[in-house]
Structure 1
Amino acid sequence: MKKVIRVILLLISLTTLLSGLIQIIVPAFVLNFVGAPIDTASKQLFATIGMFMFLFGGMMVHVLYNENENRVAVIWSGFQKLGASAAVFVGIYKGVFVPLAAGVAVFDLLSGILFFYYLKIAKEHAVS
Protein backbone atom coordinates (compact mmCIF):
# COMPACT_ATOMS: atom_id res chain seq x y z
CA MET A 1 0.00 0.00 0.00
CA LYS A 2 2.87 2.38 0.78
CA LYS A 3 4.18 2.07 -2.79
CA VAL A 4 0.74 2.90 -4.24
CA ILE A 5 0.38 5.95 -2.00
CA ARG A 6 3.93 6.99 -2.90
CA VAL A 7 3.08 6.90 -6.63
CA ILE A 8 -0.12 8.89 -6.00
CA LEU A 9 1.87 11.46 -3.99
CA LEU A 10 4.40 11.66 -6.81
CA LEU A 11 1.60 12.40 -9.29
CA ILE A 12 0.14 15.01 -6.92
CA SER A 13 3.58 16.57 -6.47
CA LEU A 14 4.23 16.70 -10.22
CA THR A 15 0.78 18.22 -10.73
CA THR A 16 1.55 20.83 -8.07
CA LEU A 17 4.91 21.59 -9.66
CA LEU A 18 3.48 21.91 -13.18
CA SER A 19 0.39 23.89 -12.18
CA GLY A 20 2.61 26.21 -10.16
CA LEU A 21 4.79 26.73 -13.22
CA ILE A 22 1.71 27.52 -15.32
CA GLN A 23 0.55 29.94 -12.64
CA ILE A 24 3.94 31.68 -12.72
CA ILE A 25 4.00 31.98 -16.51
CA VAL A 26 0.32 32.75 -17.24
CA PRO A 27 -1.39 33.74 -13.98
CA ALA A 28 -4.32 35.31 -15.86
CA PHE A 29 -5.22 31.87 -17.25
CA VAL A 30 -5.57 30.46 -13.73
CA LEU A 31 -7.38 33.56 -12.47
CA ASN A 32 -9.85 33.23 -15.33
CA PHE A 33 -10.39 29.53 -14.50
CA VAL A 34 -11.30 30.28 -10.87
CA GLY A 35 -13.36 33.32 -11.87
CA ALA A 36 -11.25 35.89 -10.03
CA PRO A 37 -10.77 39.47 -11.13
CA ILE A 38 -7.74 39.91 -13.37
CA ASP A 39 -5.55 42.95 -12.87
CA THR A 40 -1.86 43.62 -12.39
CA ALA A 41 -1.97 42.99 -8.63
CA SER A 42 -3.93 39.73 -8.85
CA LYS A 43 -1.64 38.42 -11.61
CA GLN A 44 1.42 39.23 -9.48
CA LEU A 45 -0.09 37.56 -6.40
CA PHE A 46 -1.08 34.45 -8.33
CA ALA A 47 2.38 34.23 -9.92
CA THR A 48 3.89 34.44 -6.41
CA ILE A 49 1.57 31.70 -5.16
CA GLY A 50 2.55 29.67 -8.23
CA MET A 51 6.21 30.01 -7.28
CA PHE A 52 5.49 28.47 -3.88
CA MET A 53 3.44 25.70 -5.49
CA PHE A 54 6.36 25.00 -7.84
CA LEU A 55 8.79 24.87 -4.89
CA PHE A 56 6.63 22.62 -2.71
CA GLY A 57 5.86 20.30 -5.63
CA GLY A 58 9.55 20.10 -6.51
CA MET A 59 10.52 19.49 -2.89
CA MET A 60 8.09 16.58 -2.64
CA VAL A 61 9.32 15.05 -5.91
CA HIS A 62 12.83 15.26 -4.44
CA VAL A 63 11.67 13.72 -1.12
CA LEU A 64 9.88 10.85 -2.86
CA TYR A 65 12.96 10.03 -4.95
CA ASN A 66 15.33 10.27 -2.01
CA GLU A 67 16.11 7.02 -0.19
CA ASN A 68 16.11 8.77 3.18
CA GLU A 69 12.71 9.48 4.70
CA ASN A 70 12.07 13.18 5.18
CA ARG A 71 9.03 13.36 7.43
CA VAL A 72 9.40 17.10 8.03
CA ALA A 73 9.05 17.95 4.33
CA VAL A 74 6.02 15.65 4.03
CA ILE A 75 4.39 17.21 7.11
CA TRP A 76 4.83 20.76 5.83
CA SER A 77 3.69 19.77 2.34
CA GLY A 78 0.58 18.27 3.90
CA PHE A 79 -0.04 21.53 5.77
CA GLN A 80 0.50 23.48 2.53
CA LYS A 81 -2.15 21.39 0.79
CA LEU A 82 -4.65 21.74 3.65
CA GLY A 83 -4.00 25.49 3.86
CA ALA A 84 -4.42 25.91 0.11
CA SER A 85 -7.71 24.04 0.28
CA ALA A 86 -8.99 26.24 3.09
CA ALA A 87 -7.87 29.41 1.26
CA VAL A 88 -9.76 28.43 -1.90
CA PHE A 89 -12.91 27.54 0.04
CA VAL A 90 -12.71 30.92 1.82
CA GLY A 91 -12.26 32.59 -1.57
CA ILE A 92 -15.39 30.86 -2.86
CA TYR A 93 -17.33 31.85 0.27
CA LYS A 94 -16.25 35.48 -0.12
CA GLY A 95 -17.20 35.50 -3.80
CA VAL A 96 -13.64 35.92 -5.07
CA PHE A 97 -13.68 32.54 -6.84
CA VAL A 98 -16.50 30.79 -8.69
CA PRO A 99 -17.90 27.53 -7.23
CA LEU A 100 -16.02 25.58 -9.93
CA ALA A 101 -12.85 26.38 -7.96
CA ALA A 102 -14.11 23.93 -5.32
CA GLY A 103 -12.56 21.22 -7.50
CA VAL A 104 -9.13 22.71 -6.77
CA ALA A 105 -9.97 22.96 -3.06
CA VAL A 106 -11.15 19.35 -2.86
CA PHE A 107 -8.05 18.15 -4.74
CA ASP A 108 -5.82 19.96 -2.25
CA LEU A 109 -7.85 18.71 0.73
CA LEU A 110 -7.61 15.09 -0.41
CA SER A 111 -3.93 15.58 -1.25
CA GLY A 112 -3.23 16.90 2.26
CA ILE A 113 -5.03 13.94 3.80
CA LEU A 114 -2.98 11.56 1.64
CA PHE A 115 0.27 13.22 2.71
CA PHE A 116 -0.56 12.59 6.36
CA TYR A 117 -1.80 9.07 5.61
CA TYR A 118 1.53 8.40 3.89
CA LEU A 119 3.34 9.52 7.05
CA LYS A 120 1.22 7.15 9.11
CA ILE A 121 1.89 4.09 6.96
CA ALA A 122 5.59 5.00 6.54
CA LYS A 123 5.93 5.10 10.33
CA GLU A 124 4.14 1.76 10.69
CA HIS A 125 6.49 0.16 8.15
CA ALA A 126 9.51 1.63 9.93
CA VAL A 127 8.36 0.11 13.25
CA SER A 128 7.66 -3.32 11.76
Structure 2
Amino acid sequence: MVSAETLRLLADIGFMATSGGFSAQASSLFKAVELARPDSVLPHIGFALNHMNMNRHQEALEILEKKALKLEPDNATVKAFIGMALMMLGRNSESERTLNQITTSDDILAATLAANLLTELQQHANKKSSPGLH
Protein backbone atom coordinates (compact mmCIF):
# COMPACT_ATOMS: atom_id res chain seq x y z
CA MET A 1 0.00 0.00 0.00
CA VAL A 2 1.26 3.45 -0.92
CA SER A 3 1.32 5.94 1.93
CA ALA A 4 -0.87 9.03 1.91
CA GLU A 5 2.28 11.15 2.04
CA THR A 6 3.70 9.51 -1.09
CA LEU A 7 0.41 9.93 -2.95
CA ARG A 8 0.27 13.60 -1.97
CA LEU A 9 3.84 14.02 -3.23
CA LEU A 10 2.95 12.37 -6.56
CA ALA A 11 -0.09 14.62 -6.87
CA ASP A 12 1.99 17.70 -6.07
CA ILE A 13 4.50 16.71 -8.75
CA GLY A 14 1.54 16.26 -11.12
CA PHE A 15 0.28 19.76 -10.29
CA MET A 16 3.76 21.18 -10.97
CA ALA A 17 3.98 19.21 -14.22
CA THR A 18 0.66 20.50 -15.53
CA SER A 19 1.46 24.09 -14.61
CA GLY A 20 4.79 23.67 -16.41
CA GLY A 21 3.12 22.46 -19.59
CA PHE A 22 3.90 18.77 -19.13
CA SER A 23 0.32 17.59 -19.60
CA ALA A 24 1.03 13.98 -20.55
CA GLN A 25 3.35 13.47 -17.61
CA ALA A 26 0.87 15.13 -15.24
CA SER A 27 -1.89 12.89 -16.53
CA SER A 28 0.25 9.80 -15.89
CA LEU A 29 0.92 10.91 -12.33
CA PHE A 30 -2.77 11.58 -11.67
CA LYS A 31 -3.67 8.17 -13.12
CA ALA A 32 -1.21 6.54 -10.72
CA VAL A 33 -2.78 8.38 -7.78
CA GLU A 34 -6.25 7.39 -8.97
CA LEU A 35 -5.24 3.72 -9.24
CA ALA A 36 -3.77 3.76 -5.74
CA ARG A 37 -6.69 5.67 -4.18
CA PRO A 38 -9.84 5.40 -6.32
CA ASP A 39 -11.86 6.98 -3.50
CA SER A 40 -9.81 10.22 -3.55
CA VAL A 41 -10.88 13.48 -5.20
CA LEU A 42 -7.24 14.53 -5.59
CA PRO A 43 -6.56 12.88 -8.96
CA HIS A 44 -9.81 14.27 -10.37
CA ILE A 45 -8.86 17.78 -9.31
CA GLY A 46 -5.51 17.15 -11.00
CA PHE A 47 -7.12 15.87 -14.21
CA ALA A 48 -9.44 18.89 -14.23
CA LEU A 49 -6.61 21.36 -13.72
CA ASN A 50 -4.65 19.63 -16.46
CA HIS A 51 -7.62 20.05 -18.80
CA MET A 52 -7.96 23.72 -17.85
CA ASN A 53 -4.29 24.26 -18.64
CA MET A 54 -5.01 22.81 -22.10
CA ASN A 55 -8.02 25.15 -22.55
CA ARG A 56 -10.41 22.21 -22.28
CA HIS A 57 -12.60 23.87 -19.68
CA GLN A 58 -15.84 22.00 -20.37
CA GLU A 59 -14.08 18.67 -19.92
CA ALA A 60 -12.55 19.95 -16.68
CA LEU A 61 -15.98 20.96 -15.40
CA GLU A 62 -17.41 17.54 -16.28
CA ILE A 63 -14.60 15.74 -14.42
CA LEU A 64 -15.18 17.87 -11.33
CA GLU A 65 -18.96 17.52 -11.37
CA LYS A 66 -19.27 13.88 -12.42
CA LYS A 67 -16.29 12.35 -10.63
CA ALA A 68 -14.88 14.51 -7.83
CA LEU A 69 -18.19 15.94 -6.57
CA LYS A 70 -19.74 12.48 -6.72
CA LEU A 71 -17.04 11.21 -4.33
CA GLU A 72 -17.24 14.18 -1.96
CA PRO A 73 -20.33 16.35 -2.52
CA ASP A 74 -19.35 18.83 0.21
CA ASN A 75 -15.67 19.23 -0.69
CA ALA A 76 -14.96 22.98 -0.78
CA THR A 77 -11.81 22.58 -2.87
CA VAL A 78 -13.71 20.69 -5.56
CA LYS A 79 -16.36 23.42 -5.56
CA ALA A 80 -13.68 26.12 -5.85
CA PHE A 81 -12.27 24.41 -8.92
CA ILE A 82 -15.79 24.11 -10.32
CA GLY A 83 -16.07 27.87 -9.86
CA MET A 84 -12.77 28.28 -11.70
CA ALA A 85 -13.89 26.09 -14.60
CA LEU A 86 -17.17 28.02 -14.85
CA MET A 87 -15.20 31.27 -14.91
CA MET A 88 -12.95 29.94 -17.68
CA LEU A 89 -16.06 29.02 -19.65
CA GLY A 90 -17.36 32.57 -19.30
CA ARG A 91 -20.24 31.45 -17.09
CA ASN A 92 -19.44 34.22 -14.65
CA SER A 93 -22.71 34.47 -12.74
CA GLU A 94 -22.67 30.72 -12.05
CA SER A 95 -19.03 30.94 -11.09
CA GLU A 96 -19.72 33.83 -8.72
CA ARG A 97 -22.60 31.98 -7.03
CA THR A 98 -20.45 28.87 -6.58
CA LEU A 99 -17.43 30.77 -5.28
CA ASN A 100 -19.45 32.96 -2.89
CA GLN A 101 -20.64 29.82 -1.10
CA ILE A 102 -17.05 28.76 -0.43
CA THR A 103 -15.58 31.99 0.93
CA THR A 104 -16.85 31.18 4.43
CA SER A 105 -15.72 27.56 4.36
CA ASP A 106 -13.69 26.08 7.20
CA ASP A 107 -11.28 24.91 4.50
CA ILE A 108 -8.98 27.95 4.52
CA LEU A 109 -7.20 27.04 1.27
CA ALA A 110 -10.49 26.58 -0.61
CA ALA A 111 -11.91 29.79 0.88
CA THR A 112 -8.77 31.70 -0.15
CA LEU A 113 -8.87 30.25 -3.66
CA ALA A 114 -12.55 31.20 -3.95
CA ALA A 115 -11.88 34.74 -2.73
CA ASN A 116 -8.99 35.16 -5.19
CA LEU A 117 -11.12 33.90 -8.06
CA LEU A 118 -13.95 36.27 -7.07
CA THR A 119 -11.47 39.16 -7.13
CA GLU A 120 -10.36 38.09 -10.59
CA LEU A 121 -13.98 37.90 -11.74
CA GLN A 122 -14.63 41.40 -10.39
CA GLN A 123 -11.51 42.81 -12.05
CA HIS A 124 -12.54 41.26 -15.35
CA ALA A 125 -16.06 42.70 -15.00
CA ASN A 126 -14.63 46.14 -14.21
CA LYS A 127 -12.43 46.06 -17.31
CA LYS A 128 -15.39 45.14 -19.48
CA SER A 129 -17.60 47.89 -18.06
CA SER A 130 -15.04 50.71 -18.05
CA PRO A 131 -14.92 52.88 -21.14
CA GLY A 132 -11.84 52.51 -23.30
CA LEU A 133 -9.36 55.30 -23.90
CA HIS A 134 -9.69 57.13 -27.18
TM norm. shorter chain > 0.5: no
TM-score category of the 2 structures, normalised to the smaller one: 0.3 to 0.5
Normalization by structure 2: what TM-score?
0.36
Structure with larger RCO (C-alpha < 8 A, sep 6+):
1
Q: Which has the higher helix share?
A: 1
Normalization by structure 1: what TM-score?
0.37
